[in-house]
Each structure stands twice: as C-alpha cells, then as structure tokens.
Amino acid sequence: MFGSVDYFTNYFKTCIMNNLFLESPSSLRTNYSLLKAEIMNRQENEREKDRFLQNLESAYIHVTKDILEWEEEINGD
C-alpha cells in the first residue's frame, strides 16, 4: 500500500535492480526526492503526509544501510 515502509523499501530496491539495465540510471536520492514530491502533492491530510514522509525516510535509511553492509561483505571489511 502506498505510504507504508514496505512500499517505499520495495520501490527503492526495484529502482536499484532496474538501474542495472537502464542506460541512464537514477540515484536513490533522486528517487527519494521524486517520492517525497509525490507525497507532498498527493496527500491533503497533514497527519497522513507526515506519516508517509517518516515512512519514506525510514525506508531510505534501511535500504542505504543494506547497501553499505553488502559493500562491506563484498569488499571483505
């Protein structure tokens, strides 16, 4: 469901996978900004907007943390 942490996490992971095949990939930060703009434009209820923004931030932090952990595993750090 749009707005949940799982939704945003899956969105970011899908973007990462799609970037493997795109000629002009976009960064996670770019996708974060696009989702944030969508939330700001889509939600009229301030309380729901704040919740969605918090969920977006949580998902972004979770995915970037996962990426850093994967890099450490690959590099043997």
* pLDDT at site 43: 81
Q: Which domain holds residue 30?
A: 5-75
- In this structure, the number of other CB atoms found within 10 A of the CB of residue 39 comes to 20
Give the pLDDT confidence score for residue 68 in this predicted structure: 82
Residue 31: closest CA among 59, 54, 4, 52: 59
Given this model, what pLDDT does residue 20 score? 86
Q: How many domains does the chain have?
A: 1
Low-confidence ranges of the chain (pLDDT < 50): none
pLDDT, one tens digit per residue, over 48-59 is: 999 999 999 999
pLDDT of residue 71: 65
Q: Please, what is the average pLDDT of the chain?
A: 91
